[in-house]
Chains A and B, each alone.
Chain A
Amino acid sequence: MNLSQALEIATCTDPGMVRSHNEDSVAADASIGVAVLADGMGGYNAGEVASGMATTVLTTELQHLLASGEAAAMAGAAGRERAEAMLRAEIAKANTSIYQAAQSQPQYAGMGTTLVVALFYDNRVTVAHIGDSRVYRLRDDELVQITKDHSLLQEQIDSGMITAEQARFSQNKNLVTRALGIDPTVDAEIREYETQPGDLWLLCSDGLNDMVSDEDIAMTLQALASNLPLAAQQLVQMANDNGGRDNVSVVLVRVVRDYAAPKGLLARLFGWLRH
């Protein structure tokens, strides 16, 4: 099922005002309903390599799988486990690729990356994330943060050691507790949400949410929702105008219309046979 009529996607990535390298990487394919964003880390250009590998492996593998009819199996109630299992497997693959590259080539030692993947299918979206890159959703002019960072700061906030207000002044902002490619295995957090026509889903690296307040992100998305590429550019520009101390990346996905998976007899039979 081709989703390019149901989803509109815009991406924008920028090195920011301070860094010379862009270690962020984004990829999206509206036809299969996939958006991926990764924020790499590691010396020299290793961060770019890690995030580039993550987005490339995930998009190509998912394109391959979804083109070969996996999408039909994702219809109905079973789709949820299907999508989750598929994402988990592909993330494990990307993790292995990065980990092995880091092990075998000294210049890549210690590289890793954060990851967010959004997979849209059957009026739903499955979101997988690792690290401090985020997903937000704008619905009825209300911006909600969907993912919770895997970071030391978030753990401190959760345990009540520190308030969200104090977190702004913490020096531990940049410490993530999970990353892709640093260990032989990785534990991605995967959740599913329903989508509605009119929803605007935002994937971003910490270069955006550290520099631009949630209120300003919400205002920008509300004001510029009719022009997605401009909204994406505007968010990056605001991060840069506020100092742009990190790479900034955004992926915007608008749900234009329903995209329920076909539930015909044949499709159901196919899905059933594939189990």
Chain B
Amino acid sequence: MAKFILSMDGLVLKEIPVSKERMTIGRKPHNDIQIDNLAVSGEHAVVVTILNDSFLEDLGSTNGTLVNGQPIKKHFLQHNDVVELGKYKLKYVNEQAQQHRAAPQDFEKTMVLRPGQVPKVEPGKPASESQQMRAPGVSQPVGVSQPNPALSESQAMRAGQGAPAASQPMGVSQQVSTSQPMGASQPVAGGKQVPPAAIQILTGANAGRELELVKPLTTLGKPGVQVAVITRRPQGYFITHVEGATFPVVNGKALDAQAHALADHDVIELAGVKMEFFFKT
């Protein structure tokens, strides 16, 4: 379960588990996390937790809420985030999230969330309000710690949470599993870097021109006549025929419909133009 570690001036005061759907932070005694300090507003902030995700929201406090040194209004809490209220610091620790990221293949299985299982987040309505109805007993991540028939693959998910995954170095696996997919235009996959390469035109009007292959795919040729594409993949560079009656020729040999791996200094002939592929090192 996620928790907060409350500290002041580097001194740990207490650990507070995130045990409820909605936890309030403030100076007044009715708060779930009470911080008795004048720099903290009566109702200062609230943490709303849905399954395994926690959101921090400032409730219009006088002195504001900082996360990792930045003032926030609303923030999606990440493992090891440090929330500052006045002189007090709350460190957010969510090891479960880390385990999930270490075992992405099980975690990412699509599951159905039945209506009513989690309070509906209604557009326009502050998240905190719509969460209040929930019984405290359900605040544990559903599908992880409680077998729940409606989450059809909860078993698979539990299995994937095993010890080996948890022992992986956190920073690395998180990097790979979350930021890589979106960085698709980067030549990075599985941590492997593809060396930069380029095409130099050898004949025709554009002879001497160089074209760096910076995009995941680069098309060559004349549309409607003959077009080929060079794809940049983790395994290297490949040329594939796209359109036209004739296929590209590499080192004097015509290709078929399959992708062809390019080697340094391969000579490509396309739509009557010769060009050379080479690695830029």
Interface stretch among B13-21, B201-209, B216-224, B265-273? B216-224
Instruction: Decide: B153 and A168 in contact? CB cutoff 8 A.
Output: no
* Chain B residue at minimum C-beta to C-beta distance from A166: B76
Instruction: Using A155-B120, A170-B76 as known contacts, say yes or no to A176 and B113 having CB atoms under 8 A apart.
Output: yes
Q: Name the contact of A226 in the complex, choosing from B105, B113, B243 (C-beta under 8 A).
A: B243
Q: Does A171 lie at the interface of the complex (its beta carbon under 8 Å from any beta carbon of B)?
A: yes
How many A-B residue pairs have C-beta atoms within 8 angstroms? Tell me: 168
Query: Contact mask A179-195 → B, CB, 8 Å, 1/0?
Result: 10011000000000000
Instruction: Using A152-B50, A168-B182, A171-B52 as known contacts, say yes or no to A230 and B111 having CB atoms under 8 A apart.
Output: no
Q: Does A71 lie at the interface of the complex (its beta carbon under 8 Å from any beta carbon of B)?
A: no
Chain B residues touching A, majority SS: mixed
Instruction: Decide: B111 and A41 in contact? CB cutoff 8 A.
Output: yes
A14 to B216, CA, bound (A): 20
Q: Does B249 lie at the interface of the complex (its beta carbon under 8 Å from any beta carbon of A)?
A: no
Instruction: Decide: B112 and A159 in contact? CB cutoff 8 A.
Output: no
Instruction: Decide: B53 and A226 in contact? CB cutoff 8 A.
Output: no
Q: Does B233 lie at the interface of the complex (its beta carbon under 8 Å from any beta carbon of A)?
A: yes
Give the chain A neighbours of B130 by CB distance below 8 A.
159
* Chain A residue at minimum C-beta to C-beta distance from B179: A168
Chain A residues touching B, majority SS: loop
A217 to chain B, nearest CB (A): 9
Interface stretch among A4-12, A57-65, A109-117? A109-117
Please report the total number of A residues contacting B with Cβ < 8 Å: 58
- The A-contacting residues of B in range 166-221, CB under 8 angstroms, are 176-185, 189-190, 215-219
Instruction: Using A166-B76, A175-B111 as known contacts, say yes or no to A19 and B240 having CB atoms under 8 A apart.
Output: no
Give the chain B neighbours of A160 by CB distance below 8 A.
74, 123-124, 127
Q: Name the contact of A174 in the complex, choosing from B107, B122, B178, B182 (C-beta under 8 A).
A: B107
Instruction: Decide: A159 and B74 in contact? CB cutoff 8 A.
Output: no
Give the chain B neighbours of A230 by CB distance below 8 A.
229, 240, 242
Q: Name the contact of A243 in the complex, choosing from B76, B156, B190 (C-beta under 8 A).
A: B190
Q: Does B86 lie at the interface of the complex (its beta carbon under 8 Å from any beta carbon of A)?
A: no
Query: Contact mask B90-129 → A, CB, 8 Å, 1/0?
Result: 0000000100110011011111111100101111110100
Interface stretch among A119-127, A204-212, A258-266? A204-212
Query: Contact mask A41-79 → B, CB, 8 Å, 1/0?
Result: 111000000000000000000000000000000000000
A112 to B240, CA, bound (A): 38
Instruction: Using A161-B127, A170-B53, A172-B51 as known contacts, say yes or no to A219 and B122 having CB atoms under 8 A apart.
Output: no
Give the chain B neighbours of A243 by CB distance below 8 A.
176-177, 180-181, 189-190
Query: Other CB < 8 Å A-B pairs besides A41-B111, A114-B110, A162-B55, 7 of them?
Result: A41-B153, A171-B101, A182-B152, A211-B181, A216-B185, A234-B217, A243-B177
